[in-house]
Structure 1
């Protein structure tokens, strides 16, 4: 980087002004900067197993608040991925120790959409749950007081849900795009398609 842009690190050190908050999975194969093609300093990142946005997770809420209130990001993107080990563990019916407490959030999404998931072949369930989980977690972001207050205050903030495919490296839009409270239910129904 220094050879191509000698001032890169000096500019990077001077300020952090990302336009995006990426809420993604901890999976080591799913790096926000690599997948998005954005340089360091262009995307603020929060990662956990299963890209969960739980309303009682102080860590995730603090990241969201800092990104929205301090950094003034314009886009919050919840990104799930196919082949997610957390999603697979939520479906496998086995015990996973402490992880089960965290996976409760993903299992709740599976229970909510059980009819849809049960209608799919076994091999397709985890991929569909990864999509549904990204949508539901993006919806959770929209319901936070942080985002609600930002919208009420006129902050131009968009919340999206995407899914990343490890097999081809493509980010896919899940059709969940919300720019304010009025968009939430229509975007949610659109993103669920026949599930809505």
Structure 2
């Protein structure tokens, strides 16, 4: 693992690498950003965003938090979503969870975790919504894996509940919302095939914010 001092040397080498193939790389990067993707992922240090997607600087707008949650009272994630949709005009929003998620496991431990309690309760709520399915899974690891998937699904639904998503999608036909799980053991991205339009129809009676 790199020392603190080595980080600056790594940065110098990275600059040399980028400018070696394109001397104006950073001048072009500084002009603006125009990403097609918003990525909402977990803060876990083992899970990257651009690297696993094969994208470079300026190609994906990133937000990360413990458990890749989209909580409607979290001004941080709500600000990111609104900015990405209304100002960056992203075409796709991806919620990416991962197997072996410490946040998901911590949420299911019967223990006082202090400040984490209200945050992780959002994952407990996902378990409550899908309790019958999850309790029917005998193997604990498989149960956690399924909870990871269901948590991603519920966070995608939370994005679809927002006014920014609904109004922009109605007017422009995007962004589409996608749910992924990153398998740490294989490095593979798994598409959960979230049916964005079906969810939008299903929640319309309660969560419609378009005025139509």
Q: Same fold (TM over 0.5)?
A: yes
Residue 121 (structure 2) pairs with residue 104 (structure 1): yes
C-alpha spacing 1:53/1:144, structure 2 compared with 1 (3 Å): same
Once the two structures are TM-superposed, the CA of residue 153 in structure 1 deviates from its matched residue by: 2.0
Aligned mates of 1:106, 1:2 — CA distance in 2: 44
Q: 1:174 aligns with which of 188, 192, 197?
A: 192
Question: Please, which of 78, 93, 98 is the counterpart of residue 110 of structure 2?
Answer: 93
Runs of at least 5 residues in structure 1 that lack an aligned partner in the other structure: 189-196
User: What SS does the corresponding residue of 2:55 show, helix, strand or coil?
Assistant: coil
1:139 paired residue among 150, 153, 157: 157
Task: Give distance in 1, aligned partners of 2:152 and 2:134.
Answer: 15
Is the aligned partner of 1:59 residue 2:76? yes
Residue 6 of structure 1 and its aligned partner are, at CA, apart by: 2.1
- Please give the root-mean-square deviation of Cα atoms over the aligned residues, in Å: 1.6
Aligned residue-pair number: 185
Aligned 8 A contact 1:158 1:177 in 2? no
Task: Please report how far the alpha carbon of residue 186 of structure 1 lies from its aligned counterpart in structure 2 after TM superposition.
Answer: 7.8
Cα deviation for residue 91 of structure 1 reads 1.3
Query: Which has the higher Rg, Structure 1 or Structure 2?
Result: 2
Q: Is the 8 A contact 2:100 2:145 kept in 1?
A: yes
Q: What pairs up with 1:46-85 in 2 under 5 angstroms? A: 46-85=63-102
Please say if residues 175 and 187 of structure 1, whose CA atoms lie closer than 8 Å, have aligned partners that are also in contact: no
| Correspondence for 1:192 | none
Cα distance in 1 for residues equivalent to 2:201 and 2:47? 29
TM-superposition CA deviations, 1:11-61 (whole Å, max 9, x none)? 111110000000100111111111111101100001110000011111111
User: 1:153 and 2:171 equivalent?
Assistant: yes
Structure 2 length-normalised TM: 0.83
Q: What's 2:210 paired with?
A: none
> Hey, which bits of structure 1, 4+ residues long, moved more than 4 A?
185-188
